[in-house]
Amino acid sequence: MTDQINYQVFLADLKRRRDELDAAIATIESLTGASGPVAGGATESATVESDSFFSLSIQDAAKKFLRIKKRPHSAPQIARALEQGGYIHQSSDFTQTVSTTLLRVWERDGTIVKLPDKKWGLGEWYGTPKPRAVKEREENKRAESGGQTGSESNPAPIEFPAASGHGQLS
């Protein structure tokens, strides 16, 4: 009997590996300041279709765009791509709307991160660093507790001796 190859599983594994390599490349590029398409021009060949972002939120559309392009982009570049990809809006300053949304996502959960060069990337490319808001809350708690960490600022629970019949209902 001939062994059958499940090409769907094989293809999914190859795509997962490619995504991991692209994320590693993007990280190294951001650390070195280098940029350029992934070998073979794969980054540049990824296209945004006229309906790529139709009916998505700005946050989800931006994430999808960044996954398609596999490299960081500025807020104006993301805004233009969302419009070209069918994102419908009524904003008089869509770039500002996108920029504000990206900033809120970065502060809230870190799934989109702002890079030192003012471009935006996916948190998963950079090990999803702690969102700025979470860091600030932790720093504020530490400052309020006199520099103690969470476990030091919370006293140990009080342990009561076992009941000896007092206070029990009969």
Query: Which tens digit of pLDDT belongs to each residue from 41-59?
Result: 444 447 888 889 999 999 9
pTM of the full structure:
0.54
- Average pLDDT (140-164) is 60
Per-residue burial over 78-112, b if 16 or more Cβ lie within 10 Å, else e, is bbbbbbebbbeeeeeebbebbbebbeebbeeebeb
Query: Which tens digit of pLDDT belongs to each residue from 100-120?
Result: 999 999 988 889 999 999 999
Q: Would you say 105 and 132 are in contact if contact means Cβ atoms under 8 Å apart?
A: no
Where are the domains positioned within the chain? 45-150
